[in-house]
Structure 1
Amino acid sequence: MIKHIVMFSLKDPANAPKVKALLDSCKDLVAGMHEFEVGIRTEGMEANADVVLVSTFVDKAALDAYQPHPHHQAVVAQIREMAASRHVLDYHC
């Protein structure tokens, strides 16, 4: 299994629900996507980012199929316009 975590800080944190909706549209894009969860900053709780994606893929081949998927790439382009920074961590779990 491969865990794929992406954290975004946004230029305007008010765009977090829009970014969440965009990311949620990527759920189940490819075979081998096991888990897919998007969270946004919760008022009153500690956070160093505005939006986080936590997903799990059955293997690296499934993650490699997800990354270039046309819908995923369209979402990436839209989020890139709203993001101030992005941090990614992929690891075996």
Structure 2
Amino acid sequence: MIQHIVMWKLKEADKKENAQRIKKDLEALKDVISELEFIQVSFNMDIASQNNFDVILNSQFKSFEDLDIYAKHPEHVKVVEFIKSVVEQRVAIDYEI
């Protein structure tokens, strides 16, 4: 299995609304992309440091090839286009579990 984790620091404008849209749009991909085994999107807690990243994506795939299919899927690409428009920083890691 491949664990794919991404974190984003959002631009200040409409931060909470954009975080909710990212969650809704990404989690909806579970019903569209069969290679996506697990997905969860969560937010930094309001009481936590505001220096933390704002949104985290935790997802799993059976293989790196399945992750690549997900990454290139047209519906995922649409979500990524929105995310890029509201994000100031992104970090990610992919590892085998």
Do the two structures share a fold, i.e. TM-score over 0.5?
yes
Deviation at 1:28, TM superposition (A): 3.8
In the alignment, is the contact (CA less than 8 A) between 2:7 and 2:57 conserved in 1? yes
Q: Does 1:29 align with 2:32?
A: yes
- Percent identical among aligned pairs is 35
- More helix by percentage: 2
- The residue correspondences of 1:53-68 to structure 2 (distance < 5 A) are 53-68=57-72
TM-score by length of 2: 0.86
Instruction: Tell me the equivalent position of 2:9.
Output: 9
Which runs of 5 or more residues in structure 2 are unaligned? Answer: none
Paired residue for 1:19, among 22, 25, 34?
22
TM-score by length of 1: 0.89
How many residues in Structure 1 have an aligned counterpart in Structure 2?
93
In the alignment, is the contact (CA less than 8 A) between 1:4 and 1:91 conserved in 2? yes
In the alignment, is the contact (CA less than 8 A) between 2:44 and 2:53 conserved in 1? yes
- The residue correspondences of 1:14-93 to structure 2 (distance < 5 A) are 14=16, 15-46=18-49, 48-93=52-97
In the alignment, is the contact (CA less than 8 A) between 2:37 and 2:62 conserved in 1? yes
Which runs of 5 or more residues in structure 1 are unaligned? Answer: none
Deviation at 1:37, TM superposition (A): 0.4
Tell me the C-alpha RMSD between the 2 structures. Answer: 1.5
